[in-house]
Chain A
Amino acid sequence: QCKLDQLENQNPNVYNKTGERLVTTEEEDDNVVDEFDSREVFDLIRDITDPEHPLTLEELHVVQESLIQVDNDNNDIQVNFTPTIPHCSMATLIGLSIRVKLLRCLPARFKVKVEVTKGTHNAENAVNKQLADKERVAAALENTHLIKVINQCIASRLCLIG
């Protein structure tokens, strides 16, 4: 994870992880089309590392399955994330990491909106507008330093745990 001189939130609340997804027989059947659901999207982003702590977004309750909405028919996905503190300067970076991860993993047909959970950040409108501006997101992703930081946040930490 990226190192900061000073931690903004030194003692964040840490929550338990969700268990593994239960795979149904229908999902194992190759003849049945599985639609994307909120749990699937959650599984894609839960292990993103927080830029400040060696903890996942799930463990910090930055992302939660209940704050993800998937509308398969309309190719619409809405992900709300909750910064650990209302003045978190990392909010845009966290949102970008979620966007990039979903951009890489989901089919291109999906329109993904990543927004701060209402009322949880004091600059939520500014953060949301920036995350929704695909031109600025595209420019940010061409920034080699930034994309390195984002890739570090996204990279699976299974190697460290194992």
Chain B
Amino acid sequence: MAKLENLQTLSKHVGRVWNVSWHPKGQTFASCGEDKTIRIWSRENNSDLKWLNKVILTDGHKRTIREVSWSACGNYLASASFDTTTCIWDKKSGEFECNATLEGHENEVKSVAWSKSGRFLATCSRDKSVWIWEIADEDEYDCAAVLNAHTQDVKKVVWHPTEDILASGSYDNTIKLFKEDPTDSDWMCFATLLGHDSTVWSLSWDKEGKRLVSCSDDNTLKVWKQYLPGNSEGVATPEGQESWKCVCTLSGYHNRTIYDVSWSHLTDLIATSCGDDAIRIFREDDGCDPNAPTFSQIVCVDRAHSQDVNCISWNPVVPDVLVSGSDDEIVKTLQSY
């Protein structure tokens, strides 16, 4: 059994913390929440594992900030808000400033994510739509697509780790995958992943982007796997399109809604944050069948926070370091052994 230890308890936010996001270099992360502020936390130096709140961004949004996301280059921070807008922040002037505001959603924006290629940004909303924004020029974002594939509130968007492929999770219980059609450069939904019995709250890709893990209000985690046309397993691929199949359901571990999931690209461990106040870590069993993988819970911290844990994220550079945020207004950094 592994261990998870508390490194630091950061209590600067007033009101629930909704999201945390690591800077791609792993020395900095951002947090946001009900208090309409974004806080940027940095380490003093590489050897020190203590983070300090260096910057507070307060003037971007009029309502709750639901999610923050760093661009792959690390120069931009996007924030999605219940005020229907998404702000793009950068430090070109030396200080963090909001230099672009993306408008168009009719309702609360729930999630925002940058593609690894740096070409696209995606947002999703309670208005049931997913928007793809093309980064045209400095501080210029063109709407490349409005995707109305979901029938309900869209909770989460996450980009593939290497390609311009987007996954979204929704209150309609489904996950959808989108990509650009190479023939006409229109964005299309090429897969709908059915299996969850309630809201899909979050998603995380494995390091190669051939598998996806999802978490839900149905208290389960599901692992989905890609099957390309001509796969040796004989999984049908209608119309020459890749298929995505649920190869593993982890049930019986979480006692309430699972709000977030993070699949480490350094250690392959899966961390979850749950409405039962716990943080859990799962590891894939050695030698299991890749078409029916099994995972074991290696850590469960029952009272990781004193209220619902809304977000969890593995450090992209420093192995085994996690950051979490909760309704208890606290951000925690944690280390697993």
Contacts and interface: CB of A to CB of B under 8 A. Distances in A.
Interface of A: 108-109, 111, 129, 132-136, 138-139, 142
Interface in B246-299: 256-257, 275
Given A108-B327, A133-B217, A139-B82, 6 more contacts: A108-B306, A111-B275, A129-B198, A132-B217, A135-B155, A139-B108
B63 interface: yes
B198 A109 contact: no
Nearest to B308: A134
8 contacts: A108-B307, A108-B327, A129-B199, A133-B171, A133-B199, A133-B217, A135-B66, A142-B82
- Prevailing SS type, chain B contact patch: loop
A132 B259 CA distance: 13
Given A132-B217, A133-B199, A135-B155, A142 B64 contact: yes
Nearest to B255: A74
Interface of B: 16, 34, 63-64, 66, 82, 108, 110, 126, 153, 155, 171, 198-199, 217, 256-257, 275, 306-308, 327-328
A138 B64 contact: yes
A155 to B, nearest CB: 24
Given A134-B308, A138-B34, A138-B64, A111 B256 contact: yes
A108 B327 CA distance: 9
A133 B198 CA distance: 11
A129 B327 CA distance: 20
Contacts of A129: 171, 198-199, 217
Contacts of B308: 134
A136 B307 CA distance: 18
Given A135-B66, A136-B126, A108 B256 contact: no
Contacts of B110: 135
Contacts of B82: 138-139, 142
B217 to A, nearest CB: 7
Residue of A109, A111, A138 contacting most chain B CB atoms (<10 Å): A138
Given A108-B328, A134-B308, A136-B153, A142 B66 contact: no
A136 to B, nearest CB: 7
A81 B126 CA distance: 26
Contacts of B198: 129
Contacts of A109: 306-307
Contacts of B256: 111
A142 B327 contact: no
A139 B16 CA distance: 13
